[in-house]
Amino acid sequence: MANVTTPKFRVSYPKVFKPEVNKLSGKTEYSVVALFDKGADLSALKAAAKQAVIDKWGPDPAKHPKNLKSPFRDQAEKAKEVDGKRILPAGHTEGAIFMNLKSTQRPGVVDQNVQPILDESTFYAGCYARASVSCYAYDQAGNRGVSFGLSNIQKMAEGEPFSGRPSAEEAFSPVTSESGTTASSVNDLF
């Protein structure tokens, strides 16, 4: 299982500092949903997925299980009906691909300068990242498919947060003193 680096993606549902229990498997996992731009070059990931299928079930496509679950999913499948309108979650684009990246071990999380990210609030849903992943095929309890394990992740750029919560700078305006001037320090208030 060789590692592959993903193209740049938008981060959604980051759980890379503290694991959560996966309700389907019961395992405690770290995870992130990678939202790729429409037209992103996923060829290296697709080649790794194809190789994982060959490694698991052999080179003859006739011997591969039918209805293999693909790790490459259309972001539109997350759309919901709200008041008769089809609404995509924040950051999702019709026709673009998303992938669930998971690991039972904590991934390394670094910034643009390859320095560990210590302030968890700086890695958020809406920022941009890339990940080092390993591909594997699975056959468990009748479910067969290909998945990508999350090894490490690098934040590449800031982005509009998906939370919808305004920043403190947007929520407040400067405080003015009783004399009508803007307070620049505590001393200006007295």
For residues 26-53, average pLDDT: 95
175 found inside a domain: no
The rounded distance, in Å, linking the Cα atoms of 64 and 68 is 8
105 found inside a domain: yes
- How many domains, in total, are found in the chain? 1
For residues 20-35, average pLDDT: 91
186 found inside a domain: no
Can you give the pLDDT at residue 179?
A: 66
Q: Which domain holds residue 67?
A: 3-164
DSSP notation for 42-104:
-HHHHHHHHHHHHHHH-S-GGGSPTTPBPS-EEGGGG-EEETTEEEPPTT--TT-EEEEEEES
142 found inside a domain: yes
54-109 pLDDT, tens digit per residue, is: 999 999 999 898 889 999 999 888 888 888 888 877 888 888 999 999 999 999 99
Dig out the tokens for 36 from the structure. Answer: 């790729």
**Up-side HSE of residue 172: CA atoms within 13 Å toward CB?**
5
Can you give the pLDDT at residue 100?
A: 95
3-class SS of residue 110: strand
147-184 pLDDT, tens digit per residue, is: 999 999 999 999 999 876 666 777 788 887 776 665 55
177 found inside a domain: no
182 found inside a domain: no
Can you give the pLDDT at residue 182?
A: 57
CATH no. for residue 154? 2.40.50.140
CA 57, 49, 71, 123 torsion-angle sign: positive
The rounded distance, in Å, linking the Cα atoms of 97 and 82 is 22
96-150 pLDDT, tens digit per residue, is: 999 999 999 999 999 999 999 999 999 999 999 999 999 999 998 788 999 999 9
86 found inside a domain: yes
184 found inside a domain: no
1-26 pLDDT, tens digit per residue, is: 679 999 999 999 999 999 999 887 78
